[in-house]
């Protein structure tokens, strides 16, 4: 897994299902403070299958069931 950002680079939540690793990552952003990325990796090759970005967020929890991946994300209110 590759991490990006400034100051904070943390994989906060990981779920494994079938041949996928679903990872919720929080990283530092010079613009919004912290952002969240949720990625689906091919567990065999390590290649990224998909990625969703959520700016100005601070927490993430991921899970997976069947062919679906789920993410709960904390959106920061203005000024926080």
Split the chain (80 residues) into runs of 10 and give each run's mean pLDDT. Answer: 61 92 86 86 94 90 93 78
- Work out how many domains the chain is built from and give that number: 1
pLDDT, position 4: 55
Residue 17 falls within a domain, yes or no?
yes
- Residues 6+ positions from 13 with CB-CB distance below 8 Å: 23, 24, 60, 61, 62
Residue 51 falls within a domain, yes or no?
yes
Residue 33 falls within a domain, yes or no?
yes
pLDDT, position 1: 44
Residue 40 falls within a domain, yes or no?
yes
Residue 55 falls within a domain, yes or no?
yes
Residue 43 falls within a domain, yes or no?
yes
Q: Domain span at residue 43?
A: 9-75
pLDDT, position 28: 83
Residue 80 falls within a domain, yes or no?
no
């Amino acid at each position: 897994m590759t991490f990006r950002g400034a100051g904070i680079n943390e994989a906060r939540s990981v779920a494994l299902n079938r041949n996928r690793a679903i990872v919720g990552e929080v990283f530092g952003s010079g613009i919004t403070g912290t952002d969240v990325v949720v990625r689906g990796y091919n567990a065999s090759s390590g290649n990224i299958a998909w990625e969703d970005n959520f700016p100005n967020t601070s927490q993430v929890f991921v899970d997976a069931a069947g062919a679906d991946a789920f993410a709960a994300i904390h959106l920061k209110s203005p000024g926080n």
